[in-house]
Amino acid sequence: MQTSFQNKVVLITGATSGIGKVSALAFAKAGAKVIVSGRREAEGQAVVAEIKASGGEATFAKADVAVEAEVAALVAKTVETYGRLDIAFNNAGVELTGAIVDATEVDYRRVFDINVWGVITSMKHEIPVMLKQGAGVIINTSSAAGHVGMAGASVYVASKHAVEGLTKAAALEYAKQGIRVNAVAPAAIETDMMNRFTGGGAEEALSYMRSLHPVGRLGRSEEIANAVLFLASDGASFITGTSLKVDGGLLAQ
């Protein structure tokens, strides 16, 4: 398996914390030039500073993936800064809990604008760059919730099922043109999002989430980053249209 991404250019959305941040650090450590993107500039600049302090190369580019013009500018800045785009990790996402009868149009628009439209518009602007190069890799962040239902999170679940479908369709559209498109599907991971999901990291809620996983614990961001780097590597050269479940056995039950 390829362990070096020397001279590769990687764009990561939702890279200011959690899985995105850890993946940015991992790609940089493996030699990639990383565009760190997100809505929070201070946090994004801090990730860039951490990468540079370790001898890596990175640039922050602020963007809201729900706004197509900002995504277009993000991809353009990537090419302007580093001359190409080899790997895109479309990781930006937002969670939502609540019964379906309580869902509002505002809830729906917020979740789908970021989780679904954000993936669509990211691929829309990333793929033309990769086509010109004749190659590229895209990884979309899905979820275990993209494979099964989850009571009390209907809108979120629907958005992640959409990511699964988008990933398969895009993979088929560009399989013969040198572009691989896959998804990574984490279960419950120790992140700020999980703290919000469990009401501020309440121990009772976290204990319940741990109990859902046969391995008896939550996942770590580093474990998802490892899966992302694998999917981006030459070791995964015959893998496209796949959702890699990194779930501690959750979906095997």
Catalytic positions = 156
Token readout for 224 is 């998802």
Taking a C-beta distance cutoff of 8 angstroms, is the pair 26, 48 a contact? no
Token duo for residue 151: 């009571």
Tokens of 64: 């809201």
Look-up of token digits 């979906």: 251
- Strand order, beta sheet including 87-90: 57-62, 33-38, 9-12, 87-90, 136-141, 179-186, 243-246
Instruction: Compute CA distances 20 → 14, 36, 98, 105, 224, whole Å.
Output: 6, 9, 25, 28, 9
DSSP 91-142: -------B-GGG--HHHHHHHHIIIIIHHHHHHHHHHHHHHHHT-EEEEEE-
98 backbone φψ class: left, alpha, beta (φ>0; ψ -120 to 50):
left
